[in-house]
Amino acid sequence: MEPFRLCLALGPVAVYLLLLGALNLFRRPFLVSGARDTAALGLAVSGFVIIGPVELFFPDQAANHFGSFVWMLLLAFYYLCVVLIILTIRPRLVIYNISVDQLRPVVADLVDQLDADARWAGDSLSLPAFGVQLHLDPSLLMRNVSLVSAGATQNHLGWKRLETALADKLGEYEFGRNLAGLPILAVGLCLTCVVTFLIVRAPQDIAAELFDMLWLGS
């Protein structure tokens, strides 16, 4: 594979892994909405999408007419697809650097303050006042937990209120570093070194491949 395409594929993944590893090495839990988590993943794989299906089905006739502007249209189409996925998935909150056993008492204490009618059923929780039904879904590989909506009927405003309240509550706790973030960080650093090496070794080749890919050399 050409150096530029390899950098394009690995660069976003390296940034994503570095961010993911750093989040898991924080002493405090870190909460992110499912929409932001999905958007970050969409950005991470964007390089593979560009050198894969986008180039495979590249509209040559449109490129001959519009030039490099066609890439803006293709990228806009891809990110609109990501936005569509975000809008269609059910509400979800992801908490990094915390186990389900650590999270459950935190959530239980919070919901007692937020909704007197809150009810638990195993790892499932119903908040009638918020219009929210969810269950705790721990990660099998990492010390992360997702609060995933249970049922099709959900109040998105209630989820936003829950997200704000839970983020404030988690700021009061510190559970230590998650050492499982170290291998993720190491892989991210290795990919970053590979991308940096390719750029330093052949900057002119990469620039030429970029211009050729964008139809600027024709």
So what's the pLDDT on residue 163?
A: 94
So what's the pLDDT on residue 212?
A: 81
Q: How confident is the model at residue 80 (pLDDT cuts 50, 70, 90)?
A: very high
Residue among 87, 96, 77, 79 nearest 45 (CA): 79
So what's the pLDDT on residue 59?
A: 81
Over the chain, what is the mean pLDDT? Answer: 89
List, as own/partner pairs, every contact residues 131-134 make where C-beta atoms lie below 8 angstroms and the sequence separation is at least 24, other chains included. Answer: 131/155, 131/157, 131/158, 132/91, 132/158, 132/159, 132/162
pLDDT of 63 above 80: no
So what's the pLDDT on residue 73?
A: 86
| CA 87/CA 93 separation, integer angstroms | 14
Query: What is the SS3 assignment for 93?
Result: strand
SS percent in the chain: helix, strand, coil, step 5: 60, 15, 25
pLDDT of 136 above 90: yes
Q: How confident is the model at residue 79 (pLDDT cuts 50, 70, 90)?
A: very high
pTM to 2 decimal places: 0.85
The sheet with strand 30-33 has its strands ordered as 30-33, 92-96, 145-149, 132-138, 124-127, 119-121
So what's the pLDDT on residue 32?
A: 94
| CA 60/CA 66 separation, integer angstroms | 10
Residue among 41, 20, 21 nearest 92 (CA): 41
Domains of the chain: 1-89+179-218 (no CATH), 90-175 (3.30.310.80)
**Amino acid at residue number 155:** N
| CA 133/CA 90 separation, integer angstroms | 11
| CA 45/CA 142 separation, integer angstroms | 20
Q: What is the pLDDT of residues 84-113, one digit of tens each?
A: 999 888 899 999 989 899 999 999 999 888
Please list, in sequence order, all residues whose beta carbon lies within 8 angstroms of the beta carbon of residue 186, skipping any fewer than 6 positions away: 21
Q: How confident is the model at residue 154 (pLDDT cuts 50, 70, 90)?
A: confident
Q: What is the pLDDT of residues 1-51, one digit of tens each?
A: 688 889 999 999 999 999 999 988 888 899 999 999 999 999 999 999 998
pLDDT of 82 above 70: yes
The four Cα atoms 47, 50, 51, 57 give a dihedral, to 10 degrees, of: 160
Q: How confident is the model at residue 216 (pLDDT cuts 50, 70, 90)?
A: low
Tokens representing 179 are: 């050492």
Please list, in sequence order, all residues whose beta carbon lies within 8 angstroms of the beta carbon of residue 144, skipping any fewer than 6 positions away: 24, 94, 95, 96, 97, 98, 138
For the segment 72-86, the average pLDDT, to the nearest whole number, is: 92
